[in-house]
Structures are given as structure tokens and as C-alpha cells.
Amino acid sequence: MFDPKSVWTTAVIASLVALGPLSTDMYLPAFPALVLAFGARMNQVQQTLSIFLVGFALAQLLYGPLSDRFGRKPMLLAGMLLFLLSSIGATLTQSIEQLSVLRLLQAIGGSAGPVLGRAMVRDIHGPAESARLLSYIGTAMAVAPAVAPIAGGYLTLWYGWESVFLFLAIYAAAGIGMLSLRVPETAPPGSHHPLNPKALLSGYRRLLKHPTWRWYTLCCAFSFSGLFSFLSGSAFVIINYYGYREEQFGLLFALVVIGYMCGTLIAGRLVRTQGIDRLLGSGAMIAAVSGAVMAILAVAEVHSVWAVIVPQTLYMLGTGIVMPQSMAGALVPFPRMAGTASALLGFVQMGLAALIGIVVGHYHDGGPLSMSLAIGIMGLMTLICYWLLRTSTPER
């Protein structure tokens, strides 16, 4: 077994947390191919992404409390196994409806990685170091969505869209092996309290009433929803509207993810000297301004792919600062229910993003306008929630 505080344990946790962005980003270049393969409409293919997030959000409500009762590792292994089986099933699907069902199952299994990974970091490193570690895990995670669309584009081009889901199955199998053999249980002694619905609802009610948890979580959720708006619409905008090929889309997407990676690196280096709240405010301001710029360029009908890529890269820089700080800030006050707090945070984050993705898909006409407006609004809402955090909890 690895030492819980070793870099190897952190690396395994990061790889499992990365299952979320891998599952969403890797098949983005295959969207146009899925339209042709199933004779589906654009919004039907986009909905497979929103359905994934709905399942991802709902399952986290169960994983957190179950892990507080039975331990992080058993629940994480169960989720990974379901993800593995549903990924294999996706390679054999014959219709967009079947793919939607399998994406839902993938989400239910895959959501164990991020929600329990965050809780494991909190278990091992405590409040002082969890923000810094989550920032660096965010940097490592950024490698996944940077590489995933490029790899997904080439896999789709060479072997068809099915190969993307086969890769995800192999990735899950490797994660199950490392987790079962090398990573110890991290839940603190005495935290395996009895599970009952009344206590569960009471815990969720306590979190929702807690202003610190609420505003940190909404900062995270709105920031991520802007990111998801880009995921939902970017493949059709860049490939169909601007005429780039699948592998070129992957390269442009990688530029955007580099912005996120830079944000997480900046946050990891500065959090000890600047503090969570000051960094969060800076990131929220960057996201709001860059999102507004993208929306203005879209309304002004500036027809260039760079009118999307450059502002989105800066938006991702802000998001890379906002998300680790808001996650850590939301979990710090709840050491004995970190799994539950992480689960409800993930539910709000993914649920809001899924809703925004459905709206973007509904109004999407092939161009960048609906996507850009959504990103601009999400950046502004992130900044508003940060302001409400500061004003509603002045003791901070």
C-alpha cells in the first residue's frame, strides 16, 4: 500500500477525479460523427452530455453519505466497476437512445471518482493543505481535458467513435487495479456513522442553511456551468460553423485547457500567501470580464474562431483559480461529514451545469451566440456569488 500522504496516493486520486472531464471531453470531437452514425439531431447528441451530468449530479448525493458510512474505498470501487461495464456497453450501442441510457449509467459510476476523491484529499490533508492539494490536483486534471479531445479526435478519425468508449473502459480497469491494490482507506476513525434517511436529510439541510457552504458552492457551480456551456456547444461551433476538422478541434480545445491549467498552478502557488478568499475574488473577476468579452463579440457578429478561443482561455484561467478554492472553502467547516458536503456540492455543480447545457442545446443554431451568452452570464453570476459570500459572512 502507498502511504496516504505520498505523491503516489495523490496521483491515483487525481487520476480517478479526472474520470469526470475525460468522460465529457474525450467524445466531444465525435459529436458530428454520432449525428451521422445514428441519424440523430444535434440537440439529441448534445443531450447525451447533459444526461451524463444529470446522472453525475444525482449519484453524488448517494456516494457521499454512503462513503461516510461504509468508507471511501469500497464505494469508489463499486462506482468504477459500473463505469467500466457501461463503457463497454457504449461501444456496442445501436441507437442514440441506447447511448443516452448507457451514458447515464456511466455517469452514475463515474461520479464516485470526483466526489470521493475530494473527500479523500480532505481526509488525508485536513483543511490547511486541502486547498493547495486540490489546486495541484486540478493542474493534473487539466492534462486530461487538454489531451482528451485530441486523442478523441484521432481515435474517431482512425477507428470510429466506438474506440473512445473502449479507451474509457481500459482506463477504468486500470484505475480499479491501482485503487484495490495500492490505495488505503482514508476515512477517519469514528466517521463510519449509521446511515438513516432522517440524518441524511438533516445533514443536507444543515449544509444548505450554512452561508459559507452555500456561496462557495454556487461560485464553483456557476463557474463550472460556463465551462460546461463551452463543452456543450464548442464542437458544433468549431467543426461545423467554422469548418475545422476533428483533430484541429482537439488542438484548439487544448489551448483553452492550458488556461485552466495556468489558473490552478497560480492558485496552488499563491494560496498560502494570498488566502482562499482573495484568490477566489480574483478568479471570479477574470471569469466575469472574459465571459462578457466573448458575449459582446458574439453579439457584434465577429466571425472568427479566435473570438471564441481567446476569451474562453481567459475564462478558464479564472475558473482554474475559482474551482479549487471554492471546493476547499465549502468543505473546510465539515470535517466529520466531508463526503456528504462534497456530494451536495457536486450535485449543485453538475445539476446547474446540466440545466445550462440543456438551455444552450435548445437555443443552439450552429453559431456561437447562445454558447457565448451563457458563458458571459455564468461568469457574471460567479462574481455576484463571491460578492454575496463576502457580504453575508463579514466575520471572514
300-353 pLDDT, tens digit per residue, is 988 889 999 999 999 999 999 998 888 888 877 776 676 678 778 878 888 888
**Residue percentage of the chain with pLDDT more than 90:** 26
Q: What percentage of the chain exceeds 70 in pLDDT?
A: 86
* Distance separating alpha carbons of residues 23 and 33, to the nearest angstrom: 17
Distance, CA of 246 to CA of 394 (rounded, Å):
49
Among 270-284, 296-310, 377-391, where is mean pLDDT lowest? 270-284
Rounded to whole angstroms, the Cα distance separating 320 from 361 reads 25
Mean pLDDT to the nearest integer, 44-51: 85
| Burial profile 144-179: b = 16 or more Cβ within 10 angstroms, e = fewer | bbbbbbbbbbebbbeeebbbbbbbbbebbeebbebb
pLDDT at 172 over 70: yes
Q: Is residue 153 in some structural domain?
A: yes
For residue 190, is it within any domain?
Answer: no
Domain membership of residue 150 (yes or no) is yes
Burial environment of residue 272 by CB neighbours within 10 A (0 to 12, 13 to 18, 19 or more):
exposed
Q: Report the predicted TM-score, pTM, of the whole model to 2 decimal places.
A: 0.72
Give the domain range for residue 98.
7-182+206-392
DSSP-derived letter for residue 29 is G
Q: Which amino acid is at 236?
A: F
Q: Using one digit for the tens of pLDDT, what is the confidence trace for 183-225?
A: 666 665 555 556 667 777 787 888 888 888 899 999 999 999 9
Tell the burial category of 317 from Cβ atoms under 10 Å away from its Cβ (0-12, 13-18, 19+).
Answer: buried
- Is 199 part of any domain? no
Tell me the pLDDT band of 236, cut-offs 50, 70 and 90.
confident
* C-alpha to C-alpha distance for 354 and 390, rounded to whole angstroms: 27
| Domain assignment of residue 200, yes or no | no
**What does the pLDDT read at residue 76?**
86
Q: How far, CA to CA in Å, does 289 sit from each of 18, 244, 318, 356?
A: 28, 27, 10, 19
Residue 129 banded pLDDT, cuts 50, 70, 90? low
Note whether residue 55 is domain-resident. yes
- The widest CA-to-CA distance across the chain, in whole angstroms, is 59
Query: Residue 321 domain-assigned?
Result: yes
CATH of the domain at 328: 1.20.1250.20
> Which residue, chain included where needed, has cell 471570479?
284
Tally of domains in the chain: 1
Radius of gyration of the chain (CA): 20
- Selection from 364, 59, 34, 37 nearest residue 230 by Cα: 364
Distance between CA 83 and CA 104 in Å, rounded? 10
| Residue type present at position 73 | K
Domain assignment of residue 1, yes or no? no
* pLDDT score of 271: 73
Distance CA 46, CA 379 (A): 22
